[in-house]
Structure 1
Amino acid sequence: MSDLFDCMLIQWPDEQSAFNAAINENPANAGPSQGGRRKRSLVNYSKLWANGRSLKIAFMDTPPAEHKQKIIDAACRWLPYINLKFEFVDGIQGDIRISTNTGENSSMLGTDALLIHPDWPTMSLGVKPDHEDFEVIVTHEFGHALGAMHEHQHPKANIPWDKPKVYEFYRNREMNPINSEQVDWNLFTPFDTLEAIYTDYDRKSIMHHPVSNDLTLGNWENKINREISKKDKTLMRLLYPK
């Protein structure tokens, strides 16, 4: 059975604080105005960085030069499609703070990173540089850091999951087992964000986990996507227009 990405998308649990941080960073996160007034909703809003700004990205544990450069190269795959700049630094002073000393791959979603204690990482990259899909995983995590959700949780994905098998698989796997609640959050729960900022469901998205046929009903699977898809590019240009 092929595993899915070891990726945990993390969102700040206090919705009001997350909403305030998103709106303070980028008022457009509140969504389009209606009748001269901007609609504000704690459910239906975005967590995008202010368009045109420079994001400082800190390496908290200073990985070896080759390891660090591979992370930078993977992150910069997004730059042609966004109106943001990346400034990579060592230390703990950063909008996005990376730890490579953990055993997991995870990221805060967009502006939720602003709510994390400044001494703590906002992104964990436990994947090792010699992993065959190192570049894919790092690119995927930076997609979350830019505010992109998991594509397999698109409201129109309709993946025929065999949920009991999925729960059992993740509960019993040897590396980084996760409970049913974490499975629900990272696989099954559709995202609910501004309809104006997401495109149609995209099975080729780099934000889509690979899906094993062993974990679905019938004959449904999705191989690993190693490239930023055409629709990924369209979405990012929509989120961060130049």
Structure 2
Amino acid sequence: MTSAGDDHDDYDAHQIGPHCASPPQSVPAEAAAVSGVRLAALISGRLKWLNGTVLHYYFFDKEEDGSTVTLADGGTAFVSWVGDQTQRAAVRAAFEQWKSLGIGLEFAEVTDRAEAEIRIGFMRGDGSWSYLGRDALGIPIGERTVNYGWRLDTPHGRTTALHEIGHVIGMPHEHQSPFSGLVWDEEAVYREFSGPPNSWSRPKIFHNILRKLDASEVDGSLFDYRSVMEYAFGPGLILEPEEFRRGLVPPGGLSAADEEFARRWYPGLAPAGPPRLAAFTSMPLGLAPGRQADYLIIPEGTRDYTVATFGDSDTVLGLFEEIDGEPRYVRADDDAGTERNSTVTARLVKGRRYIARVRLYSTRGSGQTAIMYW
């Protein structure tokens, strides 16, 4: 990410609004068993989607979609998750702006929540937040994976819409980068964010602002205050660098480094399509760490098949079926941090088209890796 330059704007109170409060990121159970470069590759890549994934998003739209909250007087009230058409249009526009970068992810709106990996609510008073990347897959279908807690038809709101989708594709908060060099007046931060409009608890303030990410959790070694993943901060919160003592206000929208991140993790897909994988024939992966390859499977009979990777490596393997020209998720396996290989078994239908997608975290030993199905 790019370094902050001397053209940083002075603090403008009108540019400070409520902030995103992301849920805690899941911790890989296998992390304790690995270390070094292998662990860093696991952490930085495990919540990214397989390139070429179609992320289906759904807007909660039922009368009963909402939460019952406790009021200050001890009573309760029902607060809806349903957003109006202006709110939905702002989110659609944000998805389209990320897609317009030419990335290999697709975004498709669906009207059935059971088909959606990303489920979006607009609950006022609950803040704006999103689960990070593939953490969304562990959330029950009746629950939100993204929430927008304020209007999106303002400059701050449009940036919020882009920011939460940044989390959706696996981007953390920029100010929590270990390379930011930010030194906080911690008690001032706690006072600021414990009051309106955020009204956060101390643990939530620590998780979303003061906690430094591990170097393996971030992409790149430089701090980019222009990033859409950066908060705006008022004066008196940051002690160092001196240039941010009067406040840190990103310009809004996607920075050049944001765009570079998206294109690097999700490069545009080659129009020629993936090579065909023959049954019982292994094919070398030949991947660098962090890269991905797709393979076409057209079974010659209807039965249960197994697709697996081979070699001393950490990989995530996903199987998709092409339905009306769109790859739809079947199942996946992630062997990162274990001594086994990723393996998927599923019933495949003769003549149908399936895509096996492999992303490599890291290799060990000889570094020879391969994929095969049988």
Residues 130 and 80 of structure 1: CA distance in aligned 2, closer, same or farther (over 3 Å): closer
Residues 111 and 11 of structure 1: CA distance in aligned 2, closer, same or farther (over 3 Å): farther
Alignment: residue pair count:
224
CA distance in 2, matches of 1:191, 1:241: 25
Could you say which residue in structure 1 is the equivalent of 2:255? 229
The amino acid of 1:75's aligned partner reads: F
CA distance in 1, matches of 2:202, 2:175: 17
- Is contact 1:107-1:145 (8 Å) kept? yes
Could you say which residue in structure 1 is the equivalent of 2:133? 110
1:89 aligns with 2:89: no
Specify the SS of the correspondent of 1:98.
strand
Per-residue CA deviations over 1:73-123 (Å, capped at 9, x if unaligned) read 022211133210000123423101000124210000000001111110100
CA distance in 2, matches of 1:42, 1:235: 16
Pick aligned residue for 1:164 from 176, 187, 190: 187
Could you say which residue in structure 2 is the equivalent of 1:56? 56
Specify the SS of the correspondent of 2:136.
helix
- Is contact 1:12-1:115 (8 Å) kept? no
For residue 222 of structure 1, report the CA deviation from its aligned partner: 1.5
**Structure 2: gaps of 5 or more residues:** 1-11, 62-81, 269-374
1:70 aligns with 2:90: yes
For residue 65 of structure 1, report the CA deviation from its aligned partner: 2.6
Pick aligned residue for 1:119 from 137, 142, 163: 142
Could you say which residue in structure 1 is the equivalent of 2:22? 9
- Is contact 2:44-2:216 (8 Å) kept? yes
For residue 150 of structure 1, report the CA deviation from its aligned partner: 0.4
- Is contact 2:57-2:117 (8 Å) kept? yes
Larger radius of gyration: 2
Within-5 A mapping of 1:9-48:
9-13=22-26, 15-16=28-29, 39-40=38-39, 44-46=43-45, 47-48=47-48
Pick aligned residue for 1:215 from 224, 237, 249: 237
For residue 232 of structure 1, report the CA deviation from its aligned partner: 0.8
- Is contact 1:7-1:105 (8 Å) kept? yes
Residues 138 and 105 of structure 1: CA distance in aligned 2, closer, same or farther (over 3 Å): same
Residues 4 and 224 of structure 1: CA distance in aligned 2, closer, same or farther (over 3 Å): farther
Could you say which residue in structure 2 is the equivalent of 1:99? 121
Q: Which structure has more helix as a fraction of its residues?
A: 1
- Is contact 1:154-1:190 (8 Å) kept? yes
For residue 178 of structure 1, report the CA deviation from its aligned partner: 0.9
For residue 4 of structure 1, report the CA deviation from its aligned partner: 5.6
Residues 176 and 202 of structure 1: CA distance in aligned 2, closer, same or farther (over 3 Å): closer
- Is contact 1:197-1:238 (8 Å) kept? no
- Is contact 1:199-1:235 (8 Å) kept? no
CA distance in 2, matches of 1:186, 1:196: 15
The amino acid of 1:138's aligned partner reads: A
Residues 131 and 196 of structure 1: CA distance in aligned 2, closer, same or farther (over 3 Å): closer
CA distance in 2, matches of 1:145, 1:131: 21
- Is contact 1:157-1:201 (8 Å) kept? yes
> If the length of structure 2 is used for normalisation, what is the TM-score?
0.55
> If the length of structure 1 is used for normalisation, what is the TM-score?
0.82
Specify the SS of the correspondent of 2:183.
coil
Pick 1 or 2: higher relative contact order, CA cutoff 8 A, min separation 6: 1
CA distance in 2, matches of 1:199, 1:208: 15
Superposed CA RMSD = 2.7
